[in-house]
Amino acid sequence: MVALTAEKQDHNLLSRMAAGDGHGENSAYFDGWKAYEENPFHPIDRPDGVIQMGLAENQLCGDLMRKWVLEHPEASICTAEGVNQFSDIAIFQDYHGLPEFRQAVAKFMEKTRNNKVKFDPDRIVMSGGATGAHETVAFCLANPGDGFLVPTPYYPGFDRDLRWRTGVNLVPVTCHSSNGFKITVEALDAAYENARVPVKGLLITNPSNPLGTTLDRDCLKSLVKFTNDKGIHLIADEIYAATTFGESEFISVAEVIEEIPDCNRDLIHIVYSLSKDMGLPGLRIGIIYSYNNRVVQIARKMSSFGLVSSQTQHLIAKMLSDKDFVDEFIRKSKLRLAERHAELTTGLDGLGIGWLKAGAGLFIWMDLRNLLKTATFDSEMELWRVIVHKVKLNVSPGGSCHCHEPGWFRVCFANMDHQTMETALERIRVFTSQIEEESLKLTKQMAKKKKCWQSSLRLSFKDTRRFEEGFFSPHSPVPPSPLVRAQI
């Protein structure tokens, strides 16, 4: 009682924002991270730990980064080769950013879009990662209580990034697995008309997180037309632009608006970063590129609260200006992503586990609907707890991504080495093997009961109801193992 009273007093000393839970981190997405942090996997020190498959991070090309840094010590002001520029870089820099940094980022954005569009360095606004960029855009475009349409499923972090401090609402646009979760104008219209808040914009992720799909040209044109017709903003999160592989093609909204002469470009904004494409999330390099002059001006002033350090700008300007390195990095990154994606999906195919066909991103959208007791999010959470706490894999349940169909899970594959991926697949194999064994056991039990019923003149309707309503429901063709029934 004393502890509760003290906690209440502590809350009274804080602002409503600090004392509340509007941060959006009360979800299974963040709970999975906590489970990993409490017991992280290590092949030698902690072989029974949780494998992190909830982190969308590209660690497959770290060797290329390290090689470049070693070969270019002059790029850092903290080396003997680069220390002569220390005073110039370490002094105060205004929020416009180093000119060479903005020019290098603009060129890199063009490169990752196959040089089909041009980006003006003077429209490059920097921010502390895509998280800060998204929040700044939200502050610029919407008032507290306004809303953004967001097609589902979407990145769980948006609930924190866009809502917590801005007071903006996210209005889900329901997409369906029946058409590969494609965004349709009909779904957009329904969400717009049924929204209970003023809608100020549409936020899309292309390539998609968590789906790993890309939007085709016709779809993008329809989204531009929809937002232009409604007079609302279109914010395109394109932070996975260079992660396509195989036959997949990324088309930027910047390319599409060039084909729409009467497009109101004041409504078009792009969020970008180097966290995913270059595997540099720790450097916190976020980018806002807006075609709206006023947004550029205000976002730049707001960036004072989350600037990219001048030392980082200096390093990245040098790195991205090395054309040969950039070309080689992007080429090898795509090849390695394709190889790792194939390793994971081939393993899942061999176990009879489905996944959404896609060719971008650092993750797959895994289909475990047939392992649910019932087609509910309670069953999804029950299965997720087993996967995290028993199988020891941190994957993100679809419910945390606001997917309206239970049973889907986001599984990241680029943040680990080959050995760890093999361990993860082996754990999945053991898990599914246990499910198959339990399925066979239950089938034999049912067959035995049926034989007993056939030899008896009496029929128990109570037993029949249990049979019809049990694990063999239409939503659960494969009887779950005892693990699935476990209560964590």
CATH of the domain at 349: 3.90.1150.10
Residue 291 known to be catalytic: no
Q: Is the pLDDT of residue 5 over 60?
A: no
The pLDDT tens digits of the residues spanning 223-267 come to 999 999 999 999 999 999 999 999 899 999 999 999 999 999 999
**Same domain, yes or no: 352 and 375:** yes
The whole-number pLDDT of residue 443 equals 74
Q: Is residue 209 part of a domain?
A: yes
Q: By 3-state DSSP, what share of the chain in percent is helix, strand and coil, each rounded to 5? A: 50, 10, 40
**Same domain, yes or no: 191 and 123:** yes
Residue 392 known to be catalytic: no
Annotated catalytic residue, options 31, 146, 161, 237: 237
Q: Is residue 352 part of a domain?
A: yes
Share of the chain above pLDDT 90, in %: 75
Residue 239 known to be catalytic: yes
Q: Is residue 385 part of a domain?
A: yes
**Same domain, yes or no: 99 and 119:** yes
The whole-angstrom separation of Cα 371 and Cα 486 is 13
Q: Residue 128: beta bridge partners?
A: 285
DSSP sequence for 90-154:
HS---TT--HHHHHHHHHHHHHTTTT-S---GGGEEEEEHHHHHHHHHHHHH--TT-EEEEESS-
Q: Is residue 265 part of a domain?
A: yes
CATH classification of the domain holding 175: 3.40.640.10
Domain boundary among 434, 452, 478: 434
Domain count, the chain: 2
Annotated catalytic residue, options 239, 285, 316, 364: 239
Q: What is the span of the domain harbouring residue 318?
A: 72-327
**Same domain, yes or no: 38 and 103:** no
Domain boundary among 303, 327, 351: 327
Q: Is the pLDDT of residue 334 over 50?
A: yes
Whether the CB-CB separation of 359 and 17 falls below 8 Å is answered with no
What is the chain's mean pLDDT, rounded? 89
Q: Is the pLDDT of residue 477 over 50?
A: no
As a whole number of Å, the CA-based R_g of the chain is 25
Q: Residue 400: beta bridge partners?
A: none
Q: Is the pLDDT of residue 447 over 90?
A: no
Nearest-5° Cα angle at 211, 210 to 213: 130
Annotated catalytic residue, options 276, 318, 334, 392: 276
Please compute the mean of the pLDDT values over residues 308-333 and round it to a whole number. Answer: 95
Any alpha helices (H) in 455-470, and if so which ranges? 461-469
Of 244, 264, 273, whose CA–CA distance to 358 is shortest?
Answer: 244
The whole-angstrom separation of Cα 181 and Cα 179 is 6
Share of the chain above pLDDT 70, in %: 89
The pLDDT tens digits of the residues spanning 387-417 come to 999 999 999 999 999 999 999 999 999 999 9
Copy the structure tokens of residue 60: 């497959």
**Same domain, yes or no: 224 and 103:** yes
Of 147, 153, 156, 228, whose CA–CA distance to 185 is shortest?
Answer: 228
Q: Is residue 473 part of a domain?
A: no
Long-range contacts of 82-87 (CB under 8 A, 24+ apart): 85/314
The whole-number pLDDT of residue 479 equals 39
Q: Predicted confidence band at 466 (pLDDT cuts at 50, 70, 90)? A: very low
**Same domain, yes or no: 352 and 414:** yes
Q: Tell me how far the alpha carbon of residue 245 is from its chain's centroid.
A: 17
Annotated catalytic residue, options 29, 36, 154, 155: 155
Q: Is residue 445 part of a domain?
A: no
Q: Residue 290: beta bridge partners?
A: 269
Q: Is the pLDDT of residue 486 over 60?
A: no
- Say how many C-beta atoms besides its own lie within 10 A of residue 146's C-beta: 19
Q: Going by DSSP bridges, is the β-strand pair 233-237/268-273 parallel, antiparallel, or unpaired?
A: parallel
The pLDDT tens digits of the residues spanning 306-315 come to 888 899 999 9
**Same domain, yes or no: 229 and 310:** yes
Any alpha helices (H) in 372-417, and if so which ranges? 377-389
Q: Is residue 409 part of a domain?
A: yes
The whole-angstrom separation of Cα 361 and Cα 349 is 19
Exposure string of 400-421, with b = 16+ CB inside 10 Å and e = fewer, is bbbbebbbbbbbbbbbbeeebb
Q: Predicted confidence band at 449 (pLDDT cuts at 50, 70, 90)? A: low
Domain boundary among 271, 298, 327: 327
Please compute the mean of the pLDDT values over residues 211-234 and round it to a whole number. Answer: 98
Q: Is residue 95 part of a domain?
A: yes
**Same domain, yes or no: 322 and 368:** no
**Same domain, yes or no: 211 and 121:** yes
Residue 257 known to be catalytic: no
**Same domain, yes or no: 160 and 203:** yes
The whole-angstrom separation of Cα 377 and Cα 235 is 30
**Same domain, yes or no: 310 and 250:** yes
**Same domain, yes or no: 50 and 81:** no
